[in-house]
């Protein structure tokens, strides 16, 4: 017999109710209070359980809900509160740790594995004390029970918790392992009293990483303790995002009840089936993609599940989502504008619930009810339409990709740069910016009004032109060498291009939690992509017409577009990337034909796509480099290609960055001084580099003196012939009052250094 489960469910609310409630409380808006927040949270939990129950999911979670973040909940639960928050309690403590308060800075936040979800990093030191606070865990369980649902309780596992912690002294987080495990044991003891039998899911995703492999010897001792607390608690060791083969070998040595494996992103997990067939550990098979938005092909999934069943020798097991559904949007219910055919291919969290239960029923050879039958029939129709739709399959695009012969620029960097120095004629320490200038309220209103049809095109164009004019005028006044148009027409660096590329769609309500109350709405790349017409040439040409200085064209790179979109799963990523690269390639061609001499191709999210396991890194790097090179291969030798990356740490990837072969790269070194720049020197990096000289993430205006010192520090590492001077990222989140004096000081500082 096969049963269904869901790893975890999103919590922000299908209309982002939690976001509103949180931000209302934080902003002290009228009508918002701790009580209204608790009420919203309660309503959402009840609704989310109801959805899962209605979809006939057998194993539904509690404690997957969070007011901010599950790691923060765990910090709170274990009582390991950093010293600076002592004296606070309840939600005041909880939100202070997340967001800081008047006297204490917030705790660090970072990305959860290879997702765009951010968690709060536990902050430990040698003397950290732990005190169990089980209130949330227990009360959520009871809440669901009162609703008639016996849930599995989700917890972050102790090994993953400590592996992701940082320490503020030089101690090792794992020196706390025994104590932390003791707290978890205490918790399990309490949990065991809640019901006759309870499943507790310990999320241990660290074991899908290479680091996890090194920690594998901790599994047996830790889980031997936890499994011996109470006989009626069944522990599930949950992993996701990649294979966890090494952990499987350890888990089967323990009394752990079940292990969760991801069969969508960890295909190698198939090798675990043989081991599991011989063991008492029950499989929780993640087969429905929890990280992407397309419908599962139910027939294929059923076949796959039956294959698992066979390989397990007919043992009972569970079928569910590949990871928490937190990483996909809520529901298609409110999507009214999207093309109905594209919509018919999509499946968000709520829709995935039905997929899971239908796959389970069919794999059990059970008949489907009327509603499920309709969903199943629609699913078959959609698989068919996806395979054949002309919206997806564009012959011309496929033919062009197949016929490609030119994959990179004609001349080598050494040859190109000589030509460029002659034609572009810039002196030492050329100054520029990263592209965007402040996004003012007027600008946002202007774009929104145009989108809503409230103003006509010429009014909109006049508004944008006025912004560009002001922007150019200011840059000329402060004496920057290479100008930008300021990106006033862009809401978001990926969305702007997505909207103009054929093969992209946009949801109205496809929000995914990024951190705390913040959500992102990634565009949907559903089909073969191509560029029907130029995307940026008009605005860049206009900007160039307003100045005799060099105007830099501004594009988003193919790797970044890919990494920040929901991407179709019916074609290899490398091929989709080639299609995107060709869109950018065409745009560069048109820009240079229009007289633009420098084009920047931003790869802000280049690192985001790095795989979790080292064994997959070489293929990602090859794919990313090939893709970038293809995108700029249309640039003539005299056209200078810049790229920008929002990172400062290049030690591991410097060879890859070099292989991308951009003429100039600007990076985010401002906060790390010249230390991290040394890698460029030590590998003999030849191309030009613009290490950010000040931090744009803070409103602070850097003084001339400070900037002089910073530039001199850079000159200690790289020769003046190789350096560009610029801020460390785009200026769109800053105010004009901050940007203007900062850039004036920057150009001043450069003058001083040039003359010294």
Q: Quote the tokens at residue 432.
A: 């520029």
CB 702 within 8 A of CB 694: yes
β-sheet bridge partners, residue 123: 166
- According to the binding rule CB under 5 A, does residue 72 interact with Zn ion? no
- According to the binding rule CB under 6 A, does residue 116 interact with ligand GLN? no
CB 135 within 8 A of CB 90: no
- According to the binding rule CB under 6 A, does residue 464 interact with ligand GLN? no
Q: Which stretch binds ligand GLN (CB under 6 A): 30-38, 378-386, 430-438, 540-548?
A: 430-438
CA distance 709 to 396: 54
- According to the binding rule CB under 6 A, does residue 153 interact with ligand GLN? no
CA distance 541 to 536: 8
List the interface residues with Zn ion, window 232-261 (CB under 5 A): none
- According to the binding rule CB under 5 A, does residue 729 interact with Zn ion? yes
List the interface residues with ligand GLN, window 379-418 (CB under 6 A): none
First and final C-alpha spacing in the chain = 80
DSSP string, 74-118: HHHHHT---GGGTT--HHHHHHHHHH--SSSPPPPEEE-TTSS-E
- Taking the least distance from each CB to ligand GLN, the nearer of 312 and 627 is 627
487 annotated ligand-binding residue: yes
- Taking the least distance from each CB to Zn ion, the nearer of 276 and 493 is 493
# chain residues binding Zn ion, by CB under 5 A? 2
Tell me which of ligand GLN, Zn ion, none is bound by residue 229, counting a contact when its beta carbon lies within the kind-specific cut-off of 5 to 8 angstroms.
Answer: none
CB 308 within 8 A of CB 317: yes
CA distance 575 to 281: 39
CA distance 739 to 438: 8
- Taking the least distance from each CB to ligand GLN, the nearer of 171 and 440 is 440
CB 2 within 8 A of CB 309: yes
Q: Which stretch binds Zn ion (CB under 5 A): 190-198, 289-297, 574-582, 728-736?
A: 728-736
Residue nearest to ligand GLN (CB): 730
351 annotated ligand-binding residue: no
- According to the binding rule CB under 6 A, does residue 729 interact with ligand GLN? yes
- Taking the least distance from each CB to Zn ion, the nearer of 36 and 672 is 672
Element (H, E) at 512: strand 512-515
Tell me which of Zn ion, ligand GLN, none is bound by residue 208, counting a contact when its beta carbon lies within the kind-specific cut-off of 5 to 8 angstroms.
Answer: none
Tell me which of ligand GLN, Zn ion, none is bound by residue 435, counting a contact when its beta carbon lies within the kind-specific cut-off of 5 to 8 angstroms.
Answer: ligand GLN
116 annotated ligand-binding residue: yes
CA distance 33 to 352: 34
CA distance 80 to 77: 8
- Taking the least distance from each CB to ligand GLN, the nearer of 510 and 553 is 553
Tell which one of 238, 730, 743, 750 touches ligand GLN (CB under 6 A).
730
8-state DSSP, 196: S
Pairing of strands 109-111, 118-120: antiparallel
- According to the binding rule CB under 6 A, does residue 483 interact with ligand GLN? no
- According to the binding rule CB under 6 A, does residue 644 interact with ligand GLN? yes
Of 528, 505, 493, 464, the residue nearest 601 (C-alpha)? 493
CA distance 74 to 122: 9
- Taking the least distance from each CB to ligand GLN, the nearer of 21 and 556 is 556
Tell me which of ligand GLN, Zn ion, none is bound by residue 6, counting a contact when its beta carbon lies within the kind-specific cut-off of 5 to 8 angstroms.
Answer: none
Q: Which stretch binds ligand GLN (CB under 6 A): 92-100, 151-159, 623-631, 724-732?
A: 724-732
Tell me which of ligand GLN, Zn ion, none is bound by residue 281, counting a contact when its beta carbon lies within the kind-specific cut-off of 5 to 8 angstroms.
Answer: none
- According to the binding rule CB under 5 A, does residue 646 interact with Zn ion? yes
518 annotated ligand-binding residue: yes
How many other C-beta atoms are found inside a 10 Å radius of the C-beta of residue 699? 11
CA distances from 535 to 575, 586, 588, 739 (A): 22, 10, 10, 27
List the interface residues with ligand GLN, window 564-603 (CB under 6 A): 602
Tell which one of 391, 397, 434, 472 touches ligand GLN (CB under 6 A).
434
Kindly state the smallest distance separating residue 576's Cβ from ligand GLN, in Å: 22
- According to the binding rule CB under 6 A, does residue 604 interact with ligand GLN? yes
- Taking the least distance from each CB to ligand GLN, the nearer of 78 and 480 is 480
CA distances from 116 to 125, 263, 507, 519, 566 (A): 28, 20, 18, 10, 12
Task: Give pairs for 615-620: CB < 8 Å, separation 24+.
Answer: none
Residue length of the chain: 756
564 annotated ligand-binding residue: yes
Pairing of strands 502-505, 524-530: antiparallel
Give the angle 84-85-87 at the CA atoms, nearest 5°.
Answer: 115
Kindly state the smallest distance separating residue 690's Cβ from ligand GLN, in Å: 12
345 annotated ligand-binding residue: no
- The label of the residue with tokens 């039905």 reads 354
Of 111, 241, 212, the residue nearest 647 (C-alpha)? 111
- According to the binding rule CB under 5 A, does residue 159 interact with Zn ion? no
Q: Which stretch binds Zn ion (CB under 5 A): 472-480, 498-506, 616-624, 639-647?
A: 639-647
- According to the binding rule CB under 6 A, does residue 641 interact with ligand GLN? no
- According to the binding rule CB under 6 A, does residue 646 interact with ligand GLN? yes
β-sheet bridge partners, residue 436: 486
CB 549 within 8 A of CB 476: yes
- According to the binding rule CB under 5 A, does residue 667 interact with Zn ion? no
Residue 286: phi and psi, rounded to 5, are: -80, 105
Tell which one of 8, 212, 329, 435 touches ligand GLN (CB under 6 A).
435
Tell which one of 352, 386, 732, 734 touches ligand GLN (CB under 6 A).
732
CA distance 92 to 20: 18
19 annotated ligand-binding residue: yes
Question: SS3 for 467-508, per residue?
Answer: HHHHHHHHHHHHCCCEECCECCCCCCCCHHHHCCCEEEECCC
CA distances from 619 to 271, 301, 623, 626, 628 (A): 22, 27, 6, 11, 14
Tell me which of ligand GLN, Zn ion, none is bound by residue 358, counting a contact when its beta carbon lies within the kind-specific cut-off of 5 to 8 angstroms.
Answer: none
Tell me which of ligand GLN, Zn ion, none is bound by residue 291, counting a contact when its beta carbon lies within the kind-specific cut-off of 5 to 8 angstroms.
Answer: none
8-state DSSP, 527: E
- According to the binding rule CB under 6 A, does residue 734 interact with ligand GLN? no
- Which residues does the annotation mark as catalytic? 697
DSSP string, 337-352: SS-HHHHTTB--HHHH
- According to the binding rule CB under 6 A, does residue 696 interact with ligand GLN? no
Q: Compose the 486-515 pattern: x for residues touching ligand GLN by CB under 6 A, - for all others.
A: -x-----x----------------------
- Taking the least distance from each CB to ligand GLN, the nearer of 435 and 527 is 435
Q: Compose the 16-45 pattern: x for residues touching ligand GLN by CB under 6 A, - for all others.
A: ------------------------------
- Taking the least distance from each CB to Zn ion, the nearer of 646 and 750 is 646
Name the maximum alpha-carbon separation found in the chain. 83
Kindly state the smallest distance separating residue 581's Cβ from Zn ion, in Å: 21
- Taking the least distance from each CB to ligand GLN, the nearer of 212 and 435 is 435
# chain residues binding ligand GLN, by CB under 6 A? 13
Kindly state the smallest distance separating residue 427's Cβ from ligand GLN, in Å: 24
CA distance 637 to 633: 10
700 annotated ligand-binding residue: no
Contacts with Zn ion, residue ranges (CB under 5 A): 646, 729
Q: Which residues are annotated as a binding site for L-homocysteine?
A: 434-436, 487, 602
Q: Which residues are annotated as a binding site?
A: 16-19, 111, 116, 434-436, 487, 518-519, 564, 602, 608, 644, 646, 668, 729
Q: Which residues are annotated as a binding site for Zn(2+)?
A: 644, 646, 668, 729
Contacts with ligand GLN, residue ranges (CB under 6 A): 434-436, 487, 493, 554, 602, 604, 644, 646, 729-730, 732
């Amino acid at each position: 017999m096969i049963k269904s489960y869901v790893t975890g469910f999103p919590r922000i609310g299908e209309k982002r109710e939690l976001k509103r409630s949180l931000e209302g409380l934080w902003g002290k808006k009228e009508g918002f209070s701790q009580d209204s927040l608790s009420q919203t949270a309660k309503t959402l939990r009840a609704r989310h359980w109801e959805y899962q129950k209605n979809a006939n999911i057998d194993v539904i979670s509690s404690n997957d809900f969070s007011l901010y973040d599950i790691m923060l909940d765990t910090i709170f639960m274990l009582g390991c509160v950093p010293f600076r928050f002592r004296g606070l309690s309840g939600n005041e403590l909880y939100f202070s740790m997340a967001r800081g308060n008047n006297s204490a800075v917030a705790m660090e936040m970072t990305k959860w594995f290879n997702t765009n979800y951010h968690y709060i990093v536990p902050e430990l030191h040698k003397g950290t004390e732990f005190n169990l606070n089980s209130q949330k865990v227990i009360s959520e369980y009871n809440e669901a029970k009162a609703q008639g649902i016996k849930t599995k309780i989700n917890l972050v596992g102790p090994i993953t918790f400590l592996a992701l912690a940082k320490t503020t002294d030089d101690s090792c987080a794992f020196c706390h392992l025994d104590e932390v495990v003791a707290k978890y044991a205490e918790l399990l003891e309490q949990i065991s009293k809640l019901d006759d039998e309870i499943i507790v899911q310990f999320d241990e995703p660290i074991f899908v990483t290479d680091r996890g492999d090194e920690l594998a010897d901790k599994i047996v001792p830790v889980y031997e303790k936890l499994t011996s607390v109470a006989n009626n608690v069944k522990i599930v060791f949950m992993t996701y995002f990649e294979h966890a083969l090494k952990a499987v070998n350890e888990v089967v040595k323990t009394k752990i009840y079940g292990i969760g494996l991801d069969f969508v992103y960890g295909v190698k997990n198939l090798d675990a089936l043989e081991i599991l067939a011989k063991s008492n550990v029950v499989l929780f098979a993640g087969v429905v993609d929890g990280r992407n938005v397309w419908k599962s092909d139910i027939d294929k999934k059923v076949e796959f599940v039956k294959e698992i069943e066979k390989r397990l020798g007919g043992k009972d097991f569970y079928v569910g989502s590949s990871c928490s559904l937190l990483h996909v949007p809520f529901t298609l219910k409110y999507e009214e504008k999207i093309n109905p055919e594209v919509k018919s291919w999509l499946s968000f969290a709520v829709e995935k619930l039905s997929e899971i239960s239908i796959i389970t029923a069919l794999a059990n050879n059970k008949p489907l009810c009327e509603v499920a039958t309709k969903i199943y029939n629609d699913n078959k129709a959609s698989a068919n339409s996806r395979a054949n739709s002309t919206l997806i399959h564009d012959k011309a695009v496929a033919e062009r990709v197949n016929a490609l012969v030119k994959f990179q620029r004609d001349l080598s960097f050494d040859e190109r740069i000589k030509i460029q120095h002659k034609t572009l004629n810039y002196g030492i320490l050329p100054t520029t910016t990263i592209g965007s200038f402040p996004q003012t309220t007027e600008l946002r209103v202007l774009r929104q009004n145009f989108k809503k049809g409230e103003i006509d095109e010429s009014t909109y164009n006049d508004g944008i032109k006025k912004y560009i004019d002001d922007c150019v005028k200011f840059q000329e006044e402060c004496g920057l060498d290479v100008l930008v148009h300021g990106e006033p027409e862009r809401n978001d660096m990926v969305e702007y291009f997505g909207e103009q590329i054929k093969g992209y769609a946009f949801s109205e309500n496809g929000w995914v939690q990024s951190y705390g109350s913040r959500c992102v709405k990634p565009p949907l790349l559903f089909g073969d992509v191509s560029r029907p017409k130029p995307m940026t040439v008009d605005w860049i040409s206009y900007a160039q017409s307003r100045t005799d200085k060099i105007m830099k064209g501004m594009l988003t790179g193919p790797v970044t577009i890919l990494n920040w979109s929901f991407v179709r799963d019916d074609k290899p990523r490398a091929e989709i990337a080639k299609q995107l690269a060709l869109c950018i390639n065409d745009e560069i061609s048109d820009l240079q034909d229009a007289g633009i001499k420098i084009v920047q191709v931003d790869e802000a999210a280049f690192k985001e796509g790095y795989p979790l396991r080292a064994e997959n890194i070489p293929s990602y790097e090859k794919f990313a480099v090939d893709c970038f090179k293809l995108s700029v291969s249309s640039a003539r030798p005299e056209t200078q290609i810049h790229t920008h990356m929002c990172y400062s740490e290049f030690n591991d990837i410097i060879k890859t960055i070099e292989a991308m072969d951009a003429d100039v790269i600007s990076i985010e070194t401002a906060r790390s001084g010249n230390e991290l720049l040394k890698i460029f020197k030590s590998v003999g990096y030849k191309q030009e580099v613009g290490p950010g000289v000040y931090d744009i993430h803070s409103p602070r205006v850097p003084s001339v003196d400070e900037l002089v010192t910073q530039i001199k520090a850079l000159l200690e590492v790289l020769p003046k012939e190789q350096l560009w001077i610029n801020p460390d990222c785009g200026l769109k989140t800053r105010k004009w009052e901050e940007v203007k004096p900062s850039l004036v000081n920057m150009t001043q500082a450069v003058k001083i250094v040039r003359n010294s």
